[in-house]
Chain A
């Protein structure tokens, strides 16, 4: 079942790329969604703003599909919660 983070990430990507959110799945790759390197930097900036996280470059470079974004965001949120 998709949770809030899944939904929010998909919503943000769909908004940015002017896509119907229903067509974006966890398995959609950046390539399939037409997300190039500049779009990716733009999206990361949006995720950082929206989730109040900082995405380090090494995490950012591992994000090539929606699931990797969601996993990355989830981990960073958990780290932030621990750091309190």
Chain B
């Protein structure tokens, strides 16, 4: 089996456009959660989200391009550009036929869908724009990235909800391991902050309101006073390459994507399981040929809902055994929000940077210990510590679990 190198990173998030803004925000413990600007949320129960601040499509695309791009695909292209630049990726025509794309997105072009339905049902129009379908389709982000870079190998989109980007990165790595591709651009993109989607999440009663009118304190993973999750948006894209290729061209190898595993609860459509997520962690460690004591950091799924955080604590204890108590664990969603299909990619990037810089981003808004969440969640302040290897958890609605293991180089 071939080894897989991570050679480029690109991020668009509530902490800003670009990896530097993302990492600065994470290490400073800054929340990207604010009052919603995409629409007037005054009539909504939940009025906050982690939106990408001041994202200006015209800075990145001319109108002929952006007319064809929903916001989620725009995010993906901007993140992919950054990742490829960082990797110094220059592919010959032959190499491009062995390079592909895997991008997760839970919803695809949500804003385009919402807007076109509003025109049909609220305004009574009888036509939608001919670009409606090309903008909505879930594979739009992956296809546009493949077109931008001329990548003619396998291109996939994965729609596994909150784990979509982890499945995308993991399956992309498997393609490289299996020799079906040499280079993959992988990650996730999502732009779900639109009226219909926010209403849907409100109805599930899992979104945190902004306590005392302070949006930045809305999401409080693992804290006893946690009130729920906060919707986010953005994109994360990484460049994955076969180790030999990356080493031969002198690429900046940032980390090794050492392990991946996916399991399913086959249980409940929204409630998380324990056995299958724990097994995913164990299988991913096996592939990486690592054992629990080799792991120093876990980037948790950590949504900030009552059920997720206590269940994830149990999962981590089950998978890591006695080693669980010495893990540094953090939930960065309190800062970049739950960007659904993009989340796992943003969290993978946070994990790679944590290893490279020897800094664990904190779990912000941590106020009170919860007896059901009794591990080390790196509360409120980033922590300097050497990290040999780390795990990133993603557990999606539908009972779909994907775990990535990253090793430092």
Contact = CB atoms under 8 A, between A and B. Distances in A.
A60 B271 contact: no
Interface stretch (B110-118, B203-211, B239-247): B203-211
Contacts of A57: 45, 205, 209, 227-228
Interface string A34-74: 00111001001100000000000100100000000000000
Contact of B269 (A38, A44, A45, A60): A38
A57 B227 CA distance: 10
Contacts of B307: 37
B209 A37 contact: no
Interface string A13-36: 000000000000000000000001
Nearest to B209: A57
A60 B205 contact: yes
Interface string B194-208: 000000000111000
A36 B271 CA distance: 9
Q: SS class of chain B's interface: helix, strand, loop or mixed?
A: loop
A69 to B, nearest CB: 14
Interface residues of A, number: 8
Contact of B268 (A38, A41, A60): A38
B209 A38 contact: no
A41 B397 CA distance: 15
Interface in B168-211: 203-205, 209
B204 A41 contact: yes
A37 B204 CA distance: 9
A45 B203 contact: yes
B270 A37 contact: yes
Nearest to A54: B45
B268 A36 contact: yes
A41 B209 contact: no
A46 to B, nearest CB: 12
Contacts of A60: 205
Contacts of A36: 268, 271
Candidate in A41, A45, A57, A60 with the most chain B CB atoms within 10 angstroms: A57
A75 B203 CA distance: 21
Contacts of A38: 204, 268-271
Contacts of B203: 41, 45
A60 B268 CA distance: 21
Contacts of B205: 41, 44, 57, 60
Nearest to B307: A37
Interface of A: 36-38, 41, 44-45, 57, 60
Interface of B: 45, 203-205, 209, 227-228, 268-271, 307
Q: Which 5 A-B residue pairs are closest in the complex by CB-CB distance? A: A38-B270, A41-B205, A41-B204, A57-B205, A60-B205
21 contacts: A36-B268, A36-B271, A37-B270, A37-B271, A37-B307, A38-B204, A38-B268, A38-B269, A38-B270, A38-B271, A41-B203, A41-B204, A41-B205, A44-B205, A45-B203, A57-B45, A57-B205, A57-B209, A57-B227, A57-B228, A60-B205
